[in-house]
Structures are given as C-alpha cells and as structure tokens.
Amino acid sequence: MMVDTDRTQALLLLRSAQQERAGSTERENGSQTGLDDGFDRDQIVCRCCGLRITAAGQRIEVNGAHDHTFTNPEGIVFHIGCFARVQGCSFVGEPTGAWSWFAGYAWSVAYCAGCGLHLGWRYSSGDDAFHGLVLRSLSSVV
C-alpha cells in the first residue's frame, strides 16, 4: 500500500514530466486543431492554473447531448462536457475500451499540461475522436 509521502512524490514526478512536455504538447495540439484562431474570444481554461484548454465553439453533442453525468466503477460521479478539439492537455495511457461511457470508443486520461489537474478523457474510435472534459475543472473567460 502506498503511503502519503510516496503518493506525493509520485504526483510531483508526474507533474514535473507533464510540465516538461507542456510546451511541445500545447504547440502540437494548437497547430493540429487551429484553436488559436479567434480563441481569445471564447476560451475555456483550466480552473486551477488558467491554461487554455478549449473554446466554446468546440462544444459538440455526443449521443444527443453536450453534457453527461456518469459514475465510474469506483462510484465517483463525473459531470462532463463533450468537445471536438482541445489544446493544453497531456494524455496518459494507451486507449482502452474498458468501462467506456461511450459505446465503441476507447478512452485515455487527459490532464492539464500546465498543472496536472485531471481534466477528463479523450475518446477515440477509428478516425473519430472527441474529448469528455470534467466541467467543474474548467472555467470560461469572457
């Protein structure tokens, strides 16, 4: 069993690695998605550190709705919103279909590339992909 000091050290190592990748991840995601064009008008940022994550114009509906509420196998409830594209995220782990909330889609975990806050998941199925982001982890900038 991991004690609190071991957990803290592991989180610090993860955060350090994420911060090292943050510059290249943000550049890669921004250039791939084109979010920088007009992004300042409707940006959505990490609630913890203020890093740009997505834009209001990237909101999409999946299975008939933008927002969904799900409970994971450990009983933790998540209220997420679906977005076509993001920037400022680091994705961890190989995509898996285990316990996916969206049938036919595999997921990997998304963290803020700036501070390491858990932001949600990236869902992919073949060439199709979207992001389910935890709404309480985000803040809109007007």
The 10 Å CB-count burial string (b at 16+, else e) for 111-139 is bbbbbbbebbbbbbeeeeebbbbbbebbe
Maximum Cα interatomic distance, the chain, rounded to a whole number of Å: 48
For residue 110, the domain's CATH number is 2.170.150.20
Residue 130 lies in domain: 4-140
Q: Compute mean pLDDT per 10 residues along the chain, 142 residues long, and list them.
A: 40 44 41 47 93 96 97 96 96 96 97 98 97 97 70
* HSE toward the beta carbon, residue 141, CA cutoff 13 A: 16
Cα 137 to the chain's mean position, in Å? 9
Q: How far apart are CA 32 and CA 65, in angstroms?
A: 25
> What is the tally of structural domains in the chain?
1
Look up the pTM and report it.
0.73
Q: What is the pLDDT of residue 40?
A: 55
